[in-house]
Amino acid sequence: MKKITLNKLLQKQGFGTRRECEEMIADGRVRVSGEVVTTFVEALEPELLPIEIDDEPWICREYVYVLLNKPANYECSRKPSHHPGVLSLLPPQITARNTQPVGRLDHDTTGMLLLSDDGTFIHRQASPKHHVTKTYEATTHDPVTPELIAMLLSGVKLADEPAPLKALTCRQLDSHRVELVLDQGKYHQVKRMLAATGNHCDALVRTAIGRLRLEQLELQQGKWCYLDEAQLVLLGPST
């Protein structure tokens, strides 16, 4: 991050308007290198200085990269209509940065959801041309059969798609669960593909994005974490 005055830095970090951040500083709520700072005229290098807000350490981030273990009955929208929005599960310092979900999960689908305020990152993750894989565990209404697995691997025709859609990999987990890996990111794709086989999806969880798996993060539903550089690398294609 470039040098920036403290009031602008706090605003960029999601602590409020410029005026609100100036009031925080004037009230002695901000420490830089252990010292209370009450002025903001000097430009700082935020990545080199330890900053505390209300006696709590704060890591300054140019962009935020967040992974949420999405629970059911939350909408992936900044303006939800029928259910609470996923942003309500994040602290205000994150949501104030114009953070938004990377793609969408249905309100009843659970699991891995990325959120960020980095437009380039969002486009790279969401664009079909980058072929970022998503792994899902689907619970089926009827028992899983070898024929169902074969159909998902060979491709099923959906009404509004010009060509059949198929899973990159598909394996049976138990009598009523399958794991599918996709890289197309079509609307309601897993549910529609299962319906096209004559079965039905009763529950759906996204368990991996790229090579980053939910189990590696040990996040309970409704909890979130910042992603570090090593984890961000795992989100990309394996090649």
Inter-residue contact 190 to 170 (CB < 8 Å): no
Inter-residue contact 197 to 143 (CB < 8 Å): no
d(CA 49, CA 205): 40
First to last CA, the chain: 29
Of 216, 214, 209, 215, the C-alpha closest to 233 is 209
Q: How many residues does the chain have?
A: 239
Contacts of 164-172 with C-beta under 8 Å, sequence gap 24+, read: 165/189, 165/193, 167/193, 168/133, 172/144
The active-site residue out of 27, 54, 55, 106 is 106
DSSP 165: B
Which tokens belong to 65?
């990269």
Of 179, 176, 181, the C-alpha closest to 145 is 176
Q: Are strands 110-116 and 201-209 parallel, antiparallel or unpaired?
A: parallel
Which tokens belong to 122?
């969002």
Inter-residue contact 188 to 106 (CB < 8 Å): yes
Please indicate whether residue 183 is annotated as part of the active site: no
- The residues annotated with a catalytic role in the active site are 106
